[in-house]
Amino acid sequence: MPKLVTIYGGSGFVGRYIARRMAKAGWRVRVAVRRPNEAMFVKPYGVVGQVEPVLCNVRDDASVQAVMKGADAVVNCVGILAETGKNQFDTVQAEGATRIARIAREQGVDRVVHISAIGADAASESLYAQTKARGEAGVLEHFPDAVILRPSIVFGAEDQFFNRFASMSCLGPILPVVGADTRFQPVYVDDVAQAAERALTGPVASGIYELGGPDIATFRALMHQMLKVIHRRKLVINTPFFVARLMGFGFDMLQKLSLGLFTNTLITRDQVRNLSNDNVVGEGVKTFADIGIRPISMSSVLPDYLWRFRPSGQYDAIKKSAQNLRP
């Protein structure tokens, strides 16, 4: 019988790539999500019955335990960028991660991989970073042999970073950003998935690994690189932090006062706090090199999925070439 891995949040941006890789490696994959009917796209990752989406709520012990039954390995990809309803940073990223590790130890799971984030720090001003750190501590408390992966900002075809700002660039001559001088080390989503796969199937030592791509750039420089790929010229304007904090406060209050009718997907106060800190791999930490992976650069991937934001989409290169024709 092939081995079984349960991936919590396995239909999310990073989780789906891990699910695909584990299926290709011959494992049975159980994709634990809140809405299985919206995760049916994972089924073709393997042969019939090899990859199955199942219902799970990481806030509930019985739910987490049920989908972990019989699993040889567990991956936790669950995380949120903003709080909505019952999905709060503490309940999802701290308590949820701890719950998964505790139950994995109780059920005798062999390997646990936890997806965290660079910047996880219990002393941070950001609640996101605090709960990421508490989640890591909870995982290591119950499963000391776990592998914790801390990626920088993750890019890929389904990302919410380059896709979002490329879409914004189509709306006007100005592209506003918060923290234009903050440095990032973007990492390709499938490189993170490969690290998780090796942690589950190979001799990867337990511990914390910080994952960043080969390029380090400021937020402003990343936007200019993106604009170059989509063949658009925009003025990248830095929004001062005090203005961003006011905006975040306003949108957060609107979400509360509207009783959930409005969801703040624009900018939150906590995101502003995060954007004030560099998001790059630290010194003296375990990295991709310790897993035996050479990360892919942005320049080799961005054109593959950002072309749709070019002025003429897939026809942009044809139109540009046609301009060189003489009558």
Give the pLDDT confidence score for residue 314 in this predicted structure.
85
Distance between CA atoms of 109 and 98, rounded to whole angstroms?
Answer: 15
What would the two tokens of residue 96 be? 């949820």
Helix (H) or strand (E) holding 142: helix 127-142
Distance between CA atoms of 123 and 133, rounded to whole angstroms?
Answer: 9
Q: Mean pLDDT lowest for which of 202-211, 229-238, 277-286, 315-324?
A: 315-324
Rg of the chain over all Cα atoms, to the nearest angstrom: 21
Distance between CA atoms of 52 and 176, rounded to whole angstroms?
Answer: 41
Domains within the chain, CATH numbers bracketed: 4-154+186-213+279-295 (3.40.50.720)
| Distances, alpha carbon 160 to alpha carbons 58, 136, 197, 240, 322, in Å | 23, 24, 23, 22, 33
Give the pLDDT confidence score for residue 45 in this predicted structure.
97
Contact indicator for 209, 286 with CB cutoff of 8 Å: yes
pLDDT at residue 321 is higher than 90: no
Tens digits of residue pLDDT in 233-278: 999 999 999 999 999 999 999 999 998 788 998 999 999 999 999 9
pLDDT at residue 325 is higher than 80: no
What's the chain's average pLDDT? 95
pLDDT at residue 29 is higher than 80: yes
Residue 140 β-bridge partners: none
Q: Looking only at Cα atoms, what is the longest distance across the chain?
A: 76
Count CB atoms within 10 A of the CB of residue 27: 22
pTM: 0.94
Give the pLDDT confidence score for residue 327 in this predicted structure.
62
Tens digits of residue pLDDT in 105-152: 999 999 999 999 999 999 999 999 999 999 999 999 999 999 999 999
- Quick one: DSSP state of residue 7? E
**C-alpha dihedral, 206 to 215 to 128 to 208, nearest 10°:** 10
pLDDT at residue 326 is higher than 80: no
